[in-house]
Amino acid sequence: MTSATSPVSAAAPAGAKPATMAQALQRALRDAMADDPTVHVLGEDVGTLGGVFRVTDGLAEEFGDDRCTDTPLAEAGILGAAVGMAMYGLRPVVEMQFDAFAYPAFEQLISHVSRMRNRTRGRMPMPITVRVPYGGGIGGVEHHSDSSEAYYMATPGLHVVTPATVEDAYGLLRAAIAADDPVIFLEPKRLYWSKAAWSPQAPAEVEPIGRAVVRRSGHSATLITYGPSLPVCLEAAEAARAEGWELEVVDLRSLVPFDDDTVCASVRRTGRVVVVHESTGFGGPGGEIAARVAERCFHHLEAPVLRVAGFDIPYPPPMLERHHLPGVDRVLDAVARLQWEAES
């Protein structure tokens, strides 16, 4: 579990109050449902209980159980129902309790959700948002701590986004619900309780999906990351100052579509890149990110692109979790190797 501080400090907007990421997500759902009667929330325990992480708390009481609906424990059926709702003109927001719980729904996701717009030549969009709590850091057991973003990234037709701040939790979820294409909305569990001074953005202020952001400027190397690994990279960047390194940190926010422009602009400034994420190294997002950097920014690289990732094993039990997740020391080791590669 993270500390109760936000991974990014910024000037608080007027009227801002302390809020957690979970509260910002709940507010985004509430505001979307209030603004648009076609928005419906469905999933296991989202109604009476308010969700395992209480992100849907109070929605059933305010909007009724016909718009915030408890479902059976049947993920394929939940997503199949969402497909029918979208075909009928609704905007369903599906909650999968944990990342690995979504696996039984992959048939619906791959065969129908991701393909329907193309299959109908654009006549039938799929404005479905699938909320997926993912990643480790909370001592969860197998199936409760997976980082399966690579599966979604490899499925054409899906947008894949993940917030790392309270502000982005609200803004990206509003943007996802408003999108006419299906969005996999990955929520980093260990950041649910992170806090920041925040006030909801007006609809006109919500950024569209597909834009990365530089969270920390530097010139020695670029750390490319997202979601739960952002606080790790920011801490590593601060620690690297003692070695005389000024690390730039890029928060992708959106894995699909990918913001090549922001990433390549950073690479041109630094010439060195480390990609950091909890998913596995082999076949993980870092390989695709490294390939895109090599294709677009090769002549600006002074060393090979390195990856710091989870190990290529099923997620370990809680007592081994801290050894499995990328930490500050592993990030700094990669940066030191970059310096050696560039100088050799």
Last residue within a domain, chosen from 157, 178, 205: 205
Half-sphere exposure of 223 (CA within 13 A, CB side): 37
How deeply is 315 buried, as exposed, middle or buried, from its count of CB atoms within 10 A (0-12, 13-18, 19+)?
buried
Last residue within a domain, chosen from 153, 179, 205: 205
Same domain, 272 and 333: yes
Same domain, 199 and 276: no
Q: How far apart are CA 178 and CA 158, in angstroms?
A: 14
Specify the pLDDT at position 343. 65
Structure tokens at 77: 């059926």
Q: Is residue 144 annotated as part of the catalytic site, yes or no?
A: yes
For the chain, the domain total comes to: 2
Does residue 8 belong to any structural domain of this protein?
no
Q: Whole-model pTM?
A: 0.94
Per DSSP bridges, beta strands 254-256 and 159-161 are: antiparallel
Q: How far apart are CA 272 and CA 29, in angstroms?
A: 39
CATH of the domain at 118: 3.40.50.970
- Sequential pLDDT tens for the chain (344 residues): 333 344 665 556 667 889 999 999 999 999 999 999 999 999 999 999 999 999 999 999 999 999 999 999 999 999 999 999 999 999 999 999 999 999 999 999 999 999 999 999 999 999 999 999 999 988 888 889 999 999 999 999 999 999 999 999 999 999 999 999 999 999 999 999 999 988 888 877 888 999 999 999 999 999 999 999 999 999 999 999 988 999 999 999 999 999 999 999 999 999 999 999 999 999 999 999 999 999 999 999 999 999 999 999 999 999 999 999 999 999 999 999 998 766 65
What range defines the domain where residue 101 resides? 17-205
Last residue within a domain, chosen from 205, 234, 250: 205
Same domain, 198 and 302: no
Q: Which residue among 40, 112, 144, 159 is the active-site one?
A: 144
Do the beta carbons of residue 182 and residue 114 sit within 8 Å? yes
Residues 6 or more apart from 76 whose CB is under 8 A from it?
Answer: 104, 105, 107, 108
Does residue 6 belong to any structural domain of this protein?
no
Structure tokens at 337: 């190797």
10 Å Cβ neighbour count for 229?
Answer: 31
Same domain, 178 and 221: no
Does residue 134 belong to any structural domain of this protein?
yes
Specify the pLDDT at position 8. 61
The side-by-side arrangement of strands in the sheet containing 221-225 is 213-216, 247-251, 221-225, 273-280, 306-310
Does residue 300 belong to any structural domain of this protein?
yes
Structure tokens at 302: 């002074």
Does residue 7 belong to any structural domain of this protein?
no
Same domain, 181 and 315: no
Same domain, 174 and 322: no
Specify the pLDDT at position 3. 36
Specify the long-range contacts of residues 120-126, CB closer than 8 Å, at least 24 apart.
Answer: 124/86, 124/87, 125/86, 125/180, 125/181, 126/83, 126/86, 126/180, 126/181, 126/182
Specify the pLDDT at position 7. 64
